[in-house]
């Protein structure tokens, strides 16, 4: 490779890197209302009756309006506590995630624990 071409490449590389488009800025969703299950509802579960501790992991997405959707149980505890966890997440509301200021769908998960 001719010496002038190597020198020109070395001088242009930092300029070309500086011209790369900026990376999009992603801001995660922020919870507005994310309450835990009500104590009365928890008391009605089989886990409460048995006095056992456990947790349910729920995967879900926050849509562009800030509502939860596509809620699924990722790690189960007991069927009735899992159902309570899903009903709880269904009521959560968020300030949606944004990419460069534009709202976008964002998926995540939450762990809801039960301790007698």
Q: Which CATH superfamily is domain 24-114 in?
A: TonB (3.30.2420.10)
* CA dist list (Å): 88 to 33, 41, 46, 96, 98: 11, 10, 17, 18, 24
Residue-wise pLDDT tens digits, 17-69: 566 777 888 899 999 999 999 999 999 998 999 999 999 999 999 999 999 99
Q: What percent of the chain has pLDDT over 90?
A: 72
pLDDT of residue 115: 84
Arithmetic mean of pLDDT over the chain = 88
Domain spans of the chain, in order of start: 24-114
Report whether pLDDT(3) > 70: no
What global pTM score does this model have?
A: 0.78
């Amino acid at each position: 490779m001719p010496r002038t071409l190597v020198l020109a490449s070395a001088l242009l590389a930092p300029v070309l890197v500086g011209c790369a488009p900026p990376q999009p800025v992603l801001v995660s969703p922020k919870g507005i209302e994310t309450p835990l299950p009500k104590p009365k509802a928890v008391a009605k579960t089989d886990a409460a009756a048995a006095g056992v501790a456990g947790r349910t992991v729920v995967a879900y997405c926050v849509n562009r309006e800030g509502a939860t959707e596509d809620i699924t149980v990722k790690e189960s505890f007991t069927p009735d506590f899992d159902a309570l966890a899903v009903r709880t997440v269904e009521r959560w509301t968020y300030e949606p995630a944004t990419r460069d200021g534009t709202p976008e769908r964002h998926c995540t998960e939450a762990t809801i624990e039960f301790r007698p």
